[in-house]
Chain A
Amino acid sequence: MTSLPSARGPKRLGLVIDLDTCVGCHACATNCKEWNTSGHSAPLTDLNAYQAEQRGVWFNRVFTFEAGGQGENARTVHFPKNCLHCEFPDCVTVCPTGASYKRAEDGIVLVDADKCIGCKLCSWACSYGAREYDEDAGVMKKCTLCIDKIYNEKLPEADRVPACVATCPAKARHFGDFNDPESKVSRLTRERGGYDLMPETGYQPTSKYLPPRPGKRTAGASLPREEGGRDSAGKFLRWVDAVLSR
């Protein structure tokens, strides 16, 4: 079994995902795929790529479902799902070889492919289904929070954010340090009621979801009808006297 870091470093990196703004475009999923298929855990293998039963390794998947009732009361939800880099992840502690580990410095959960024996215990332990088994390579893979991008000194500083965050057209994804109360992710979590996915697991996920905002409707509003707007001769009295200059 694998232990978690005994002393945690200064940072707790993670994502804020805004369910109010996500339109379900899958940009996070495919941009993640293109970065990571040639990245730290390369490749993100695709099986039956051009055949039936096509499937592959993705670190980020968007699920769409309806929730909340029937007809107009229901809501269509686009739910992007990836590793939440939990503070107490069972997926690490169940690992028999030490392949799965949580970095002390920033809390990112990674897999050391050299040690992974492909036993899949971690994927059973992860309640979020965030682990991705590469059938071809026989090892487990998962979101790295783009560790080879966010610290990459060969990239301009502005580009050192996870691919899914950089590319999100609706700006529904944010990246930062939850240990810094003034970071954007901490602030959004505070202000928008960011929540843990399935807190009952006790894993204490680092990344948070922002709930949909309530829709805006001015209940019962209607416009007053200007009486005498139209007389019996079909004239439009209120506009007759108006002198409007070009």
Chain B
Amino acid sequence: MRHEPAIDLSPDVHDEVKYTTCYMCACRCGIKVHLKDGMVRYIEGNPNHPINKGVLCGKGSSGIMQHYSPARLKKPLKRVGPRGEAKFEEIEWEEALQIATKWLGNIRATDPRKLAFFTGRDQSQSLTGWWATQYGTPNFAAHGGFCSVNMAAAGLYTIGGSFWEFGEPDWDRARYFMIFGVAEDHDSNPIKTGMGKLKANGAKIVSVNPIRTGYSAIADEWVGIRPGTDGLFVMALIHELLHADKIDTDYLVRYTNLGWLVIDAPGTAEHGLFARDKEGNPLSYDKAGKKLADARLPDIAPALVGRYKLADRRVAVPAFQLLAERYMDERYSPDAVAATCGIDAGDIRRLAAELAHAAFQETIELDVEWTDWAGRKHDKIIGRPVAMHAMRGISAHTNGFHTCRAIHTLQVLLGSVECPGGFRFKPPFPKPIPPAQKPAGKTYAPNTPLGGAPLGFVNGPEDLLLEEDGTPVRIDKAFSWDAPISAHGLMHMVITNAWKGDPYPIDTLFMYMANMSWNSTMNTKGVMEMLTDIDHETGAYKIPHIIYSDAYFSEMVAYADLILPDTTYLERWDCISLLDRPICEADGPADAIRQPVVEPDRDVRAFQTVLIDLGARLGLPGMTNEDGTAKYPGGYPDYIANHERAPGIGPLAGWRGKDGTEQGRGAPNPDQLQAYIEHECFWHHELKPSERFYKFANRDYLDFAQRMGFIGHAEQIVLQIYSEPLQKFKLAAEGHGDIQPPDDMRERIRTAFDPLPVWYKPYEEEMVDTTEFPLHALTQRPMIMYHSWGSQNAWLRQILGRNKLYISTVKAAELGIADGDWVRVTSHNGSIKVQAKTMEGVNPDTVWTWNAIGKRSGSWNLAPDAPEAKKGFLLNHLISELLPPGGKRRITNSDPVTGQAAWFDLMVRVEKCEAGDEVSEPQFPEIGRLPGMEPGPDIVRFNAGGGKKK
């Protein structure tokens, strides 16, 4: 029997489609949200959006379950039991805002530093940072300090841009692509799409990563490097290229400072600084004119090697010579580094040869006319089609800043930065090196805004934020000798420092979207104890007040005194601003908005609107009119459209001016948000072909960038491979200048502040006994999860609901561990019990697990016996926020230059243990459900428009 039933091939899909921006990770793709009967029916990528061009990843495609999660907070909460027990009562917003205003108002009137305002995975940092400025506290940062500040800072101090948000590989033209330390994170869809393109084009992909998952799985070649040695590996590649003279010297003299002269006067205060003329211009030795000349002049012929007398009879050498002397030394030869890196020396030589071949034998020439900074016209654009990308695996080490600088140096030596087929900047980058904004906070006073933004870029010791006695100004000790170039702050140190009262106690910790009592902190158990620790003199908590805003019942909620419930991403206004972390692409700047596509069904408010409301209640200057009324009574959307950071420059660049016809600069447009909605919620300006490459030295581009307000002056941005700011810190450590590090910090500063990239062993590995803790332990971000948000999602937790400890088959056999055994993992900071899984594709000295799968029992409104709680685990318990004991005091477990949290320096030992009850350890008391929160349903029959509303 057979007959085909009649089926409806063209059912109604939606009542309405609304455009907005995804927030299932930090990638910020454009999405189309289909709505049916008031429910979210389907979320798909916007084909016109510059980031994702229609595609959407596994996370973005699970947004429905994120939006309808039973873990959503519903109403403001006030703590009524001891901290950590999640005993709350629901309160009205007015009461919540009054409580917050009272606490914050008292602090502001007395000592504004006593507010520590830290905003996790915040995508509105240009608002939150500005709010902190208006309030007057220097104690602001988002999560960059524990995420990727090494990448941002190394890029901005070297090439004026950085991986991911400030630049991208030329996916369409690259012939050779190296990706370092990336499992899945940043940026999600462009990397996937780009790698698909490279494969289709027949380009080669090399993945350098101790673990072969995700992108490494499809690479043509997987280099299973030992963690923390990437810098040394890159220097060996540089060694090979220099010895073979396979470097682009034309590029170096035109676009970098390697032809600038460096003073060679050991022991003096100017040793290692650039030789400059009376006007302060850096000097080169011009081989054409046979004399010293302003190094930035066009048409001179700067010497790359040699020793040259300066007017004052001192000697100077070109920076290139210092670079060549360093990396041509045999200690950087493939044979010398092979054992440390765990890579065969022959493979290193071959990879260097392949790089050189791609750069110099597969050169691209585009027949595009362009004009350089000096006004000279060129009829071709030359491309060296080698592209690179690097992220967390490089970033999360105490040598990550220099490793990232080494990668940029390698790219620059090949002439592959900002050319066809290479690594390309995304406007508004490149910026001057380093960017001009310095951190504010040298002075602060009650009821007074800060002199500028709390975060910025220091040029030397004189820019540090130190009190007269040398103690740090900031609670996280950013911009102190602990981490002088900590451009994103050190969120991972805030709780520890505040609890200790070092450098001073605080009154209120105000946080947003940061799960600091669980997966977003190091030393989780210790931090939980600090959050509940009581000062026995006063009987109050050592951190007296904690205000927290989140959309979900994360582990951190239990530790707050006041909860301000946020909306989901589909219920809110947002702007993805050029003033913040942009979403541009190499062919042009872009920004975007979120608009509410559904109304909240709970008593929640968007955090940004709440923050602006609090600002008005506190009378903060930028948020109140002269008569004391609120300046942005319409909340965040009102601010987005009407706020001006500088005359004509606001959060959004598109449709500015009274009639909406201007871009970049223009008066606020009251109908701007409507214009964005009419344009699918994003603005994108495409550069002319002549503006698209060599942006740091491209007349048309530089003029455009100045008009748009991206840069102050349309001058060439010279790549700073030799970094003078770093040398200034080194000189201070050697005893020069008025501001010097304390004696116990001198050696650390002297070593870490080298003007050229250096490699040193990660600190934890150096400090612990590696016979006791012989293995590196890492996490990888799973493709389907963005930290703890993803692992509560009803669909995503079916894909990955628990994690195991992965260990190489060879190492497991050596340790007598079989697949599925339970093991104890121990570090200098703690011990966990977990289940092991063996695999082939992992460096034998490395164990690893998926990031942020383990959850505390009862949190996120999951059943207390959910596998996330009972089988899943965090490595965080093993990682200390402080370096192992040794020396005068325990210093932050962070990169010594930037304060980047060194998650991946962790060293452990792994031993087989009894399986027992097969529950992971440590376990913590179950968190009870919040008032008003229903348990998650057993069965989900989600069918939008199917008449079965949840």
Contact = CB atoms under 8 A, between A and B. Distances in A.
Interface in B185-234: 188-189, 192-193, 195-197, 199-200, 204, 212-222, 224
Interface string A66-94: 10011110111110000000000000000
B217 A245 contact: no
A76 B220 contact: no
Nearest to B251: A244
A236 B327 CA distance: 13
Interface string A85-118: 0000000000000100101100000101011000
B769 to A, nearest CB: 28
A52 B13 contact: no
A126 interface: no
Nearest to B353: A221
A84 to B, nearest CB: 20
B244 A226 contact: yes
Contact of B56 (A167, A225, A242): A167
Contacts of B946: 38, 42-43
A246 B222 contact: no
Interface in A198-231: 212-213, 215-226, 229-230
Interface residues of B, number: 127
A217 B62 contact: no
B941 A43 contact: yes
A69 B840 CA distance: 8
Interface residues of A, number: 104
A196 B784 CA distance: 28
Contacts of B798: 46, 54-56, 58
A240 to B, nearest CB: 6
Interface string A13-55: 0000000111111110111011101111011111111111011
B939 A243 contact: no
B50 to A, nearest CB: 15
Contacts of A21: 195-196, 199-200, 218
A76 B217 contact: yes
Given A78-B217, A217-B221, A244 B250 contact: yes
A238 B794 contact: no
Interface of chain A, main secondary structure:
loop
Given A50-B936, A70-B809, A70-B840, A148 B8 contact: yes
B795 interface: yes
A220 to B, nearest CB: 7
A149 B301 CA distance: 64
Nearest to B197: A171
A136 interface: yes
Contacts of A35: 42
Interface stretch (B318-326, B576-584, B609-617): B318-326
Given A2-B2, A25-B192, A244-B253, A236 B942 contact: no
Nearest to A219: B350
A217 B783 contact: no
A3 B108 CA distance: 79
Contacts of B241: 223
B9 A30 contact: no
B935 interface: yes
Nearest to A154: B10
B305 interface: yes
A224 B244 contact: yes
B13 A147 contact: no
Contacts of B841: 66, 74, 76
A152 B34 CA distance: 15
A52 B218 contact: no
A54 B224 contact: no
B243 A76 contact: no
B940 interface: yes
A170 to B, nearest CB: 4
Interface string B43-75: 111010000101111111111100000100000
B723 interface: no
B938 A51 contact: yes
B216 A76 contact: yes
A190 interface: no
Contacts of A22: 218
B350 A216 contact: no
B863 A52 contact: yes
Given A223-B243, A226-B244, A244-B253, A43 B948 contact: yes
B44 A154 contact: no
Nearest to A30: B61
Contacts of B945: 38
Contacts of A226: 243-245
B867 A52 contact: yes
13 contacts: A23-B192, A38-B943, A42-B946, A49-B938, A148-B9, A166-B44, A171-B193, A215-B219, A236-B305, A239-B320, A244-B304, A246-B253, A246-B259
Given A170-B193, A239-B320, 12 more contacts: A21-B218, A26-B783, A33-B61, A37-B944, A44-B942, A51-B862, A147-B7, A169-B56, A171-B200, A219-B350, A223-B246, A240-B306
9 tightest Cβ-Cβ pairs between the two chains A and B:
A50-B936, A26-B58, A169-B192, A223-B244, A76-B217, A222-B349, A74-B840, A31-B61, A221-B353
